A and B are shown apart, each in its own frame.
Chain A
Amino acid sequence: MEEEKSGTHDRSGRTRRETGEDGRVERRPGEEIDRSRPVAFDFEGKRFSGYEGDTLASALYASGLRIFTRSSKYHRARGLFCVSGRCANCMVNVNGRPNVRACVEPIREGTVVKHQNAWPSLDHDVYSSIERMGRFMPVGFYYKTFINFPWEWKRVRSSMRKLAGLGSLDDELADWKKSAESGDPRSPSPRMDDKAFDQEFMHADVAVVGGGPAGIFAALEAGRLGARVVLVDDQASLGGHLRYDDGEIRLEPSTGEGRYSGRRASQLANELSDAVSQREGLTVVSGATVFGLYESNLLGLVRGNRLIKLRAKQVVISTGAHERFSVFRNNDIPGVFPASGLQRLIRLYGVRPGRSVAILTDGDVGLDVARTLIGAGIGVSVYADSRTGVDLDEPQRVLGGTGAVILSGYAIIESLGKKKVEGATLVRIDENGRAIEGSERKFVCDTICLANSLEADTSLLYQAGCRTVYDVEVGDFIVSGHPASVHSCGGATGIHDLSTSLLQAKVAGLRAAVSLAEGRAGPEVKTARDDLETYSKDLRESESRYRERVRAWKLKLSAAVSGYGGGRGAIATKSFVCICEDVVEEEVLRAISEGFDDIETLKRYSTLSTGPCQGKICLLPSIGLCARETGKSIPQTGRTTSRPPYLPVTMGALAGSELHPTKLTAMHYKHLELGAAMMDLGEWKRPHAYGPVGEEYAAVRGAVGVIDLGTLGRLDVRGKDTPRLLDFVYTHIFSRLQPGKSRYGVICDDAGIILDDGTVTRLSEDHYFVTTSTGNVDFVEQWLEWWIAAQNLDAHVTNLTDGLAAVNVAGPRARDLLKKLTRIDISNEAFPYMNSAEGLVAGVPSILLRIGFVGETGWEIHFPAEYGEYFWDALMDAGKEFGVRPFGVEAQRVLRLDKKHIIVSQDTDALSDPFEADMPWIVKFEKDDFVGKAALAAIKRAGPRRILVGFVMDAGMAHDGDQVYSSDGGDKLIGAVTSARLSPSVGRCVGLALVSSGSTRDDGSLRIMTQGKLSEARVTLRPFYDPDGKRLRS
């Protein structure tokens, strides 16, 4: 035996004692580790090492670790079990990433691994004392206890959560989340490899799920007519059970692959894997789990931290099978393995699982394990086949002379030991599959191998919509009722015979290929069709031979699915049905006796099969128990529903990479240069203010100000029905608007509710320029397109928002400023209020709109975004002599409030109509029909229930959202403040409030609850500043 470093770490004493010299067996062909390349990592603060090709679990096991986790409820010691990433027994925290399955996580140099759900250590877990309280926590404990003491639940919830369940996110991530929530965008995100998630889209003609022999053959056949095939496998390398099986391959000649007969399984795995890699058009995705099969054949895959959405035209499911679990006393302790788990450890990673193994089998799997063990120099203490009167010649040949006791008609009822297996108690089984009392025999061993018959992995088939029904003769779930584009083969179909599987695979692959070639002719298509027919016929024969072969003993087996031991044992020797959720046989029996005797209600009440393995271990045992206790057959009992995800999926993978889409205006970096405080508005960044808001306000009122309006939505609408479209969608009339004129408009839905507002400018007869509020342009575009489709109009909408920059130049000196930059006549006579023009400004082609949102002489100028910074500089240079200042969103909010100009969704809510918004003039009932006309007519008849009014505070400040009370005393709440600001022009706080109509009149009064105090305010129906609009028209 080689001298290996891996087993000689600082706990080497224990390692030697438990696993022999170095924890590894002699090197054998097929091994997937490279013993010349050690890899070091950190576990619980100590240095460990393994080899390249090892998983964390195999390296840790070889180094002597036996307890990998503590169970979720009773904190019982749990060790490696499935060794294939299906169960929850080896979940650890890797580099801060919780719930990583150590048995499928490749070791990487320097990885930091920690245990979960135990304190202070896995070996000595204080919480394991909970188990002694198990008798006080019967099935349905939470429901029963806390329904009477709901307040208690609140008290104990947090400590319960700490005790139960699995891993937790590490503190670093929690800290980061906190700082991210506090709105500090500069906080560094913990973007280590293990926390960076992303997504990928893949497309395939055929997706094959499962890289075992069946999946490989299906993939090869599916590609025969040129289809693009993607083969997905959850293991590190292809080959499925061939990688660790120990027998010789024997294939029926009808498979057409007879040449492989006589090969060793691992050799065949390599040959098939080579064939796959040489095939063009065949892509392999290894180490990826398909967790869901969704509509239109969308497959959800997770591969490490990457989510892959794979869309396929045809799907072949060959997810294989796993050994069924056995229910017996103490069946969950470290050292109990399914045969494949044990074989993977020995054959793939060269790990010595123990010194003396008890093999419990009911078929041929036990023999294969026996060969593996003997070949690896590991002792077998007992080999027991639960079938009575079965021929024992073959086991004798394999195990004769090794000292192993060979039995038939015996099954396990208890494993001995507390934190690891120390022995096994077997019992004789009668003809009906029941234990014969008094026939117990005890054997000393340190490992128990459950070499049970296989159970098909039907979850994905179930998700695909297939029927999966337990067939007593075959002893497994048999699949039928495939949707047209879904095919299956291999162990997943409930048939466990390599020859039959290969025929199934060829049929499935060819069916997919032929369906894709529908309508195609040619010799290769014809050959494929002929082959499909031949293989289908051969498959039928092969399948019936299989049924014949297994019928007798599988019938008997079905009686024993539930296990042989009685469930009512001492607390310390529980019989586990579901090891993820810690559900024991006794609890299941009690639940059934309480009336939860339907498999689906039993699942919900007892939490059976709701843990991380999603029923992969406990599905059949729980059905078997339910059947036994209710006196029904297994098919009558049915099965629980399989839903996505097949395995737990990290939330991060679903969330994808951390992206915050942000839109920047064309002048964004100018604002940053000026030191503007930026704010978020939808996806946009906008300057909130450049300095003191009062100075910006004063510049606009007294000189000239410039604001970046690049965030406004801009739509170009043209086509001969455009006037009709706009008349129909807006409440105002735009067909009568003269070319060159602009008008304010409001869009309502058919309930009369305001959706958006903006200006509409007629550029020419059939050509309009429409602006929308910031962040709402996509909606308005869709809304216009909808009515174009619904009314069958000839009009075309183009969204110009991202292509155009815009500014508003406003103030008494705005004209002086612009005069320096343009030859367009902008005198009040030539270019009055609500007019538009197209021409050059600062040499840049622009659309100018004379609009007065802030209440001064002003022009909204739209121009190509690429001139943004140049244009900005030109304005600032030209305006210097007039005292120009940039102003931000906050100044604009005060300026527009002076004028009582509303902001949709700030001063309106999801129920506001134009009458409530105090704009009755904007609804033109004389039009034939328009969106919202009927509803608005009804509202007009009944009168609005609320009204938006302006108010001026006598003293004090109101704030957005403050409550408004009527002035006639009492505490009658009549509405809320929608906007309130201190207006420098008025010298007091002014605002808008949405209040019940009738509760107020012009010059009436209101009381506003602001900061816990009621303050008087006076209602003002006219604008607070320049009520006659003389300034903006000058």
Chain B
Amino acid sequence: MGFLLHCPNCGERDAYEFRFGGESRKRPTFSATEKEWADYVYMKKNVAGSEREWWYHRLGCKRWLIAIRDTRDNSVSKTFWLGEE
């Protein structure tokens, strides 16, 4: 894992500074069915391709950001704060 991630706050940094937070997905509401909740909690998509995911800038500003990363070659096309896409 040697790629770079652009933190919207700190700039371009080594991926080692970050913690991977998994796929970014929409959390169901409380009224969702058990199956929807089970899917959210346990069923990861694990795509080979572009993925929207959470990253935490552990050794920097300690904020969570969203990155669009290609899981096949670790190229990151975009990073942003949630809601500021």
Contact = CB atoms under 8 A, between A and B. Distances in A.
Given A294-B3, A295-B2, A309-B2, 15 more contacts: A294-B2, A295-B73, A296-B74, A311-B4, A786-B54, A786-B56, A786-B64, A789-B64, A790-B27, A792-B82, A929-B30, A934-B28, A934-B32, A934-B34, A938-B34
A827 interface: no
Given A782-B56, A934-B28, A751 B19 contact: no
A296 B2 contact: yes
A782 B54 contact: no
A785 interface: yes
Interface string A734-751: 000000000000000111
A690 to B, nearest CB: 36
A559 interface: no
Given A298-B2, A786-B21, A934-B37, A750 B27 contact: yes
B63 interface: yes
Contacts of B21: 786
Contacts of B83: 792
7 contacts: A295-B74, A298-B3, A750-B37, A751-B41, A782-B56, A785-B56, A789-B64
Nearest to B3: A295
A876 interface: no
A922 B4 CA distance: 43
A749 B56 CA distance: 18
B35 to A, nearest CB: 11
Contact of A785 (B37, B63, B75, B81): B63
| Interface core residue of B62, B82, B83 (most chain A CB under 10 Å) | B62
A309 B2 CA distance: 10
Interface string B59-75: 00011110000000111
Interface string A968-1012: 000000000000000000000000000000000000000000000
Given A296-B3, A929-B30, A789 B82 contact: yes
A654 interface: no
Contacts, number: 62
Interface residues of A, number: 24
A728 to B, nearest CB: 11
A938 to B, nearest CB: 6
Contacts of B2: 294-296, 298, 309
Contacts of B34: 934, 938
B53 to A, nearest CB: 13
A933 interface: yes
Contacts of B54: 786
Interface in A246-303: 294-296, 298
A933 B62 contact: no
Nearest to B56: A782
A781 interface: yes
Contacts of A797: 62
B64 A790 contact: yes
Q: Is the interface of B mostly helix, strand, loop or mixed?
A: loop
Interface string A920-937: 000000001100011100
A788 B63 CA distance: 9
Nearest to B74: A295
A789 B63 contact: yes
A789 B82 CA distance: 7
| Interface core residue of A782, A797, A938 (most chain B CB under 10 Å) | A782
B62 to A, nearest CB: 6
B78 interface: no
A781 B62 contact: yes
Contacts of A785: 56, 62-64
B56 to A, nearest CB: 6
B64 A935 contact: no
Nearest to B64: A789
Interface in B40-63: 40-42, 54, 56, 58, 62-63
A925 to B, nearest CB: 10
A604 B1 CA distance: 26
Interface of B: 1-4, 14, 19, 21, 27-30, 32, 34, 37, 40-42, 54, 56, 58, 62-65, 73-75, 81-83
Nearest to A786: B64
Contacts of B73: 295
A935 B74 CA distance: 34
B71 to A, nearest CB: 12
Nearest to A781: B62
A394 B32 CA distance: 87
Contacts of A750: 27, 37, 40-41
Contacts of A934: 28, 30, 32, 34, 37
B18 to A, nearest CB: 11
B39 to A, nearest CB: 11
The 7 closest A-B pairs by CB, nearest first: A298-B2, A294-B2, A295-B3, A789-B64, A296-B4, A296-B3, A934-B37
Nearest to B73: A295
Contacts of A935: 37, 41
Interface in A651-683: none
A309 B1 CA distance: 12
Nearest to B62: A785
A933 B28 CA distance: 11
Contacts of A929: 29-30
A790 B22 CA distance: 13
Given A295-B73, A750-B41, A934-B37, A789 B30 contact: no
Interface string A892-929: 00000000000000000000000000000000000011
A782 B58 contact: yes
A934 B73 CA distance: 36
A309 B3 CA distance: 12
A929 B29 CA distance: 8
| Interface core residue of A296, A781, A792, A929 (most chain B CB under 10 Å) | A296
Contacts of B82: 789-790, 792
B13 to A, nearest CB: 11
B17 to A, nearest CB: 12
| Interface core residue of A789, A933, A934 (most chain B CB under 10 Å) | A934
Interface in A777-798: 781-782, 785-786, 788-790, 792, 797
A789 B37 contact: no
A608 to B, nearest CB: 28
B41 A789 contact: no
B21 to A, nearest CB: 7
Nearest to B42: A751
Interface in A128-157: none
A736 to B, nearest CB: 20
B3 A789 contact: no
A298 B37 CA distance: 40
A786 B14 CA distance: 20
B26 to A, nearest CB: 10
Contacts of B58: 782
Interface in A924-958: 928-929, 933-935, 938
Contact of A311 (B14, B37, B63, B74): B14
Contacts of A928: 30
Nearest to B82: A789
Contacts of A311: 4, 14
A929 B32 CA distance: 12
Contacts of A786: 21, 54, 56, 64
A643 to B, nearest CB: 14
Nearest to A750: B41
Contacts of B41: 749-751, 935
A308 to B, nearest CB: 13
Nearest to A928: B30
Contacts of B28: 934
Contact of A782 (B4, B19, B42): B19
Nearest to A782: B56
Nearest to B54: A786
A376 B3 CA distance: 51
Contacts of A296: 2-4, 74
Contacts of B81: 789
A833 B1 CA distance: 50
A928 B82 CA distance: 23
